[in-house]
Amino acid sequence: MALGFISFATGLFGNVPCPIIYGAIVDSTCLFWEEDSCGRKGACRIYDSTRFRQWFHGITAFIMFLAFVIDVVVCFKADAIQFHEEVAAPDPEREVNKNKEEDGVVTTPLSLESTEEQNNSKKPLMAKGNGSRNGESAC
């Protein structure tokens, strides 16, 4: 859809007015118009090349400068454009704890003091059981 809109805008603002503008420039620099038998204006026979060059390049430079100004405005305003609502990135540690809570396992972070107390009490920090899986020996 965006490509269609850009093609439409290019056709509307580029292909339609440019021949009209540059045709008017060419016609305005004519010095001698040919006339048909009815007295109507026909083709131009002689152009003022200096005036033609000044108008042609002047209008071209003006249009390019106008496009540059629009590009600069777009560059400065582009940061404010939001296409989608910003969503905070998920915290991986929070996701792990959330999954454990769903499984029925609740963990709490250990502090340095509680670790020292456990070391001083000389209690083993093992889970209940014989330390084996599927009833196999730990050895």
Ordered per-residue pLDDT tens for the chain, 139 residues: 888 888 888 888 878 888 898 999 999 999 998 988 888 888 899 999 999 999 999 999 999 999 999 999 989 988 887 777 766 666 666 665 565 556 565 555 555 555 555 555 555 555 555 555 555 555 5
Range of the domain at 9: 2-80
How far apart, in whole angstroms, are the C-alpha atoms of residue 35 and residue 24? Answer: 19
In a domain, 113, yes or no: no
In a domain, 69, yes or no: yes
Cβ–Cβ under 8 Å, residues 27 and 55: no
Task: Write the single-letter amino acid at 77.
Answer: K
DSSP code, position 103 = T
Number of domains in the chain: 1
Q: Which residues pair with 100 in a beta bridge?
A: none
In a domain, 135, yes or no: no
Position 112 scores a pLDDT of: 56
How far apart, in whole angstroms, are the C-alpha atoms of residue 123 and residue 128? Answer: 13
In a domain, 26, yes or no: yes
In a domain, 91, yes or no: no
In a domain, 72, yes or no: yes
